[in-house]
Amino acid sequence: MKYNTKVDIVYHAIRCGIERGEYLPGDRIVISRIAKANGCSEIPVREALRRLESEKVVELIPNKGAVVSSVSKSYLEQLFQVKIVLESYAARLSVDFLTKTQLKHLRKMAEQMSEAFENGNLKKSSALNYKFHMTIYRSAGNDVLSGYIDEMWNKWPIGRYTDYVPDEWYRISLKQHFDLLEAIEAKDYDKVEELIRSHKSGALRNLGRREERIPLIE
């Protein structure tokens, strides 16, 4: 992906750092360090941070500076309500478009996701999870719908924090991916929608419940 301005470059660098877990909720983002790391003045860094603030990814706090946002329970619930509606509909549409080759590839991806989780590589498992879901949603051929879903996934990088959920839930979540593929293969439209709704609702209930991590939700 090409970034045309220094602001774009800095914005991408900070956002990717947050998604990779280099910055966690409550961490302070030091403007001078970001500027030095990206070979620019502090002006594009401040502009990038204002953009991230508008997306609720960071907060600009007087006398403290920029910190990575936590998520209010209310905001998270509203976000997931929208995600559930859009993703369950996109998954239903995908039933008529996914080919046998694509389903085989998705099953392999789900297996790799489970393997990465059992090996303790949560970041890889999380990245595969995003790719798995977006492959399904984009297959429906509705670019507007998949674009909105992608925006929801990236509105706040909660979807990338798989290490904030308990292991017992994540194993249930992993199995649901295989159940979803079986429902798609059977062309059981209602079951596909039901599984996505259950999948997303479970993620919301369990997000932030992994005890050894710092609080994710305010």
Within a domain: 213: no
Domain boundary residue among 68, 97, 118?
A: 68
Q: For CA atoms 206, 211, 215, 216, give the dihedral sign.
A: negative
Residue-wise pLDDT for 75-120, tens only, equals 778 888 999 999 999 999 999 999 999 999 999 999 999 999 999 8
Is residue 1 included in any domain, yes or no?
no
Same domain, residue pair 54 and 108: no
Residue 82 and residue 52 in one domain = no
What CATH number should be reported for the domain holding residue 170? 1.20.120.530
Q: Are residues 103 and 191 in the same domain?
A: yes
Domain with 44, as residue range(s), is 6-68
**What is the total count of domains within the chain?**
2
Same domain for 199 and 103? yes
Quick one: 32 and 90 in the same domain? no
How confident is the model over 12-48, as pLDDT tens digits?
999 888 776 678 778 899 999 999 999 999 999 999 9
One domain, residues 124 and 191: yes
**Within a domain: residue 215?**
no
